[in-house]
A and B are shown apart, each in its own frame.
Chain A
Amino acid sequence: MSARKESITRCGAQIIDDLSTRGLVWSGSGRTSTPTFDDFAPYAAAIPLGIPEIDQALPGGGLQRGSIHEFFYNDPLQPRAIPTSLTSVIAHNAHKLLTTQGVWDEAARPRSTLWIGKRSWPTPYTLVGMSQDRASATSSLLHSALFIDTTNDRMTLWALETALRSPAAHVVIADCPRLSLTATKRLLLAARERGTTALLIRNSKDSKYPSCATTRWALSPTPSLYDTPLWELSLLKIRGAALRSSSWIIGINEHASSLSLRVFPRVVDRCHQEETTRDKYGT
């Protein structure tokens, strides 16, 4: 009896695992196995961040496609700064997903990545460094990236919605103005209709308002003793799932030839603290 029950539970777990990999079932307990780049299911529904520790915490192994994700950058000196390194990495991973899926042939133009709002444009070096293999040079991210310069908020929202509804856009990265809950719901419906992913960068003061985004992230710079800049990446919310571990220190992976990120251990910098106390108190 118990053996039969065990086998049913095992089958059930397998089925749920299978469905979770396809993104049809979300579970917040992190029981799913993380897909790597080599063994993607043909219609994988998540864009991995390329950082295993963070991907494991996300249901589906990454950012879900066909939905919107919000990013807040906390920096008092640069209030409208955009986390360009992180968004470039996500855009690169999404683009790689397209070219390895094999649904498109090389001659056709694959779906494009759009950057809306002049502030959100990264320097093009971050996009070029991503095409490592020559074979896919024709479909590199830089060539299929469209940059749109909008002048006011209404135009940005209109451009965002039009891009989300078009089958030709794959990932849309936008510098968003203030959005209400209904506006985010509308964008979510538009994204879900076509399977387009939106990465919205919002003002950090808006993080206290509710929204319909599937995940919400906050990024802020941290002092680093390494050669690379470090940021503290916190996961604020996953829609419809319980949140487990929520913040990591990430930085540019200096050993990779292209832009990629990895997790760094938290190191408390005591030598600088000592210096400041010495200056202050003279001991």
Chain B
Amino acid sequence: MMPLPLAEALISGAYTEAFDPIRDYNALYALAVWCRRFSPLVSIDYELAVAHKRNELRTLPSLHYGITIDLTGTEKLHGDIDLLCQRIDALFQYRARICAAPTIGGAWALSRYGPHTPCVARSIPALTEALTNLPIRSLRLDRLCVERLADVGMYTIGELLSLPRHTLGQRFGKPLVYRLHQALGSLDERLNPVEERARYERHRIFEPPLTNRRAIIIAIEALFHDLVRHLRAEQISAGLFSLIICDTTFQSICKEFPLSSATNDTKHLLSIIQPIIDSMRFCGEAREIILRAQDTTRSIKEQRSFTAQDFDASEIARSYRELLNTFGIRIGKDRVSFARLNDSYIPERSFSYESAIGALQEAHDVVMESPAPYTPRERPSTLFSTPEPITTIAMLPDKPPSCIQWRDTRLPIISGYGPERIAPEWWRGELRQELFSTRDYFIIQDNTGRWLWVFRDQRTHEWFIHGSWT
């Protein structure tokens, strides 16, 4: 264990990644699901599953990241166990420690602490012999028990086996006895098999492939109705629908429909998705169509009240979500947004727009509002997205200009207010980067009554117009 810079100094060019235990857990789970090709009963370590449920993955020792495969009854399929172990070793590219033993405890111990890999123990006596020299930690005991045993000079399982069994429980606790018996096969140990996470998808292969556009659309709609009916039966709402169409040259078109809130309302979904499908261009022939529902959450069917009118709060909320869905899919997720005021007095950064789809709307409701930092006179009601350059004529230093030229028109100025200096925010380190220079803002009025917000850049002494009161 050493600090990262020291490690990087020792090994130059090392690849480093942040520790993300949840990503590792998900990867291991997926690997365990993949291992179901060897046997239907595959599980991950019980301690790992418990730690994941309790969100304690960060403190779990890495020994527990392992997969247990139950090979009972698979002799006919795999033949010799030795050969199977070698094959799995090769599949894992010789990076995993593999062991096969009659009991789970024994296999766990041998795979972590065994002398070589792959290691096969074919019977209980062979297992007992192999376990003799392994340290007591390999029985999955906690540190206190191991230390207590070390106090009396017990370091390996062999020494433990030489003690009379019936005294072990009183002296060192019952877990020791259980683990020992589980490792030697006298006690059963339960395996929690991994299950493939439920996938909601409908999949149809067309032989011969569909060439008619109308036929493809009908097929998509039929799949869609089927899938949504299944979702409703299971009381699941999906937040993302994906449509994949593969053609005969094995290229596929993928279209995603991200929704702002999960829903399984057939009519609403159909009204959103149909225009998109009708306007899709299908090149080639459709050999296979897959429709998937992802981002699923449980939804509880509620009966709408008899007296629900259009102006009821729940109806309004529902139609608001549907409106967001419709806009999000047709126009695009990023183009439907809320406005937020930021904590900055640089005009471009003082407000921002964030996407309404997927944003936590509850957070908006709870935030208490502070009164506006600027009066309507201080800030223009329309801000240009980029300041436009203007030329000023007859300018006096530190006073508003008396005449400006904007968009090829000469505008004499009849009144001006200012300057208001906006300097870069030094706490953000911009003075070093020189991204933003000090500006002197003026509010000026030209002879036709237009009120404009102009500024002079302190560094380059150029004038720009940034907004106007319309």
Contact = CB atoms under 8 A, between A and B. Distances in A.
Interface string B93-128: 000000000000000000000000000000000000
A114 B354 CA distance: 15
User: Chain B CB within 10 Å — which of A78, A104, A155 has the most?
Assistant: A78
Interface in A93-128: 103-105, 107-112, 121-128
A18 interface: no
B215 to A, nearest CB: 28
B341 A111 contact: no
A122 B335 contact: no
Nearest to A148: B336
A150 to B, nearest CB: 6
Interface string A150-175: 11000100110011001111000000
B377 A228 contact: yes
Nearest to A170: B316
A9 interface: no
B313 interface: yes
B365 interface: yes
Interface in A55-82: 73, 75, 77-78, 81-82
B339 A77 contact: no
Nearest to A127: B339
Contacts of B319: 166-168
User: Chain A CB within 10 Å — which of B314, B316, B367 has the most?
Assistant: B316
Contacts of B323: 162-163, 166, 168-169
Nearest to A137: B369
A228 B451 CA distance: 9
Interface string A225-264: 1011111000000000000000000001010011100000
Contacts of B361: 109
Main secondary structure of the interface of B (DSSP, over half): mixed
Interface in A129-160: 129, 131-132, 134, 137-140, 142-143, 145-151, 155, 158-159
B380 interface: yes
Nearest to B356: A146
A274 B161 CA distance: 115
Interface stretch (A19-27, A202-210, A216-224): A216-224
Contact of A159 (B327, B364, B375, B379): B327
A270 to B, nearest CB: 13
Nearest to A140: B369
A143 B470 contact: no
Given A82-B470, A158-B330, A143 B364 contact: yes
A231 B375 CA distance: 18
A283 B353 CA distance: 56
Interface stretch (A46-54, A83-91, A179-187): A83-91
A147 B379 contact: no
A100 to B, nearest CB: 15
Interface in B295-351: 310-311, 313-317, 319-320, 322-324, 326-327, 330-331, 335-341, 351
Contacts of B470: 73, 75, 78, 81-85, 221
A272 interface: yes
Contacts of B368: 134, 137-138
A265 to B, nearest CB: 15
Contacts of B327: 148, 159, 162
Main secondary structure of the interface of A (DSSP, over half): loop
B406 A85 contact: no
Contact of B316 (A83, A168, A258): A168
User: Chain A CB within 10 Å — which of B340, B371, B374, B411 has the most?
Assistant: B371
Given A103-B311, A111-B316, A123-B379, A272 B447 contact: yes
Given A125-B373, A129-B372, A221 B448 contact: yes
A247 B406 CA distance: 29
A168 B340 CA distance: 21
Contacts of A272: 414, 447
Contacts of B377: 227-228, 252, 254
A162 B369 CA distance: 31
B467 interface: yes
Given A82-B382, A150-B335, A229 B469 contact: yes
A129 B447 contact: no
Contacts of A111: 316
Contacts of A78: 450, 468, 470
Interface string B374-394: 111101111100000000000
Given A73-B470, A81-B470, A167 B311 contact: yes
Contacts of B322: 166, 168
Nearest to B447: A223
B397 interface: no
Contacts of A231: 449
B313 A104 contact: yes
Contact of A109 (B337, B365, B409, B450): B365
Interface in B37-85: none
Nearest to A85: B381
B331 A150 contact: yes
B396 interface: no
A195 to B, nearest CB: 9
A168 B337 contact: no
A76 B373 CA distance: 32
User: Chain A CB within 10 Å — which of B311, B315, B324, B366 has the most?
Assistant: B311
A129 B374 CA distance: 8
Contacts of B469: 85, 229, 252
Interface of A: 73, 75, 77-78, 81-85, 88, 103-105, 107-112, 121-129, 131-132, 134, 137-140, 142-143, 145-151, 155, 158-159, 162-163, 166-169, 194, 221-225, 227-231, 252, 254, 257-259, 272
19 contacts: A81-B470, A109-B313, A112-B320, A123-B382, A124-B339, A128-B371, A129-B375, A131-B369, A147-B339, A149-B335, A149-B337, A150-B335, A162-B327, A167-B315, A168-B316, A222-B449, A223-B448, A227-B377, A229-B449
Q: Which 5 A-B pairs have the closest CB atoms?
A: A108-B313, A129-B372, A168-B320, A221-B449, A229-B451
Given A108-B316, A109-B313, A225-B415, 11 more contacts: A85-B470, A109-B317, A124-B341, A124-B351, A129-B376, A131-B369, A145-B339, A147-B336, A155-B331, A162-B323, A223-B447
Interface of B: 310-311, 313-317, 319-320, 322-324, 326-327, 330-331, 335-341, 351, 353, 356, 361, 364-369, 371-377, 379-383, 406-407, 409, 411, 414-415, 417, 445, 447-451, 467-470
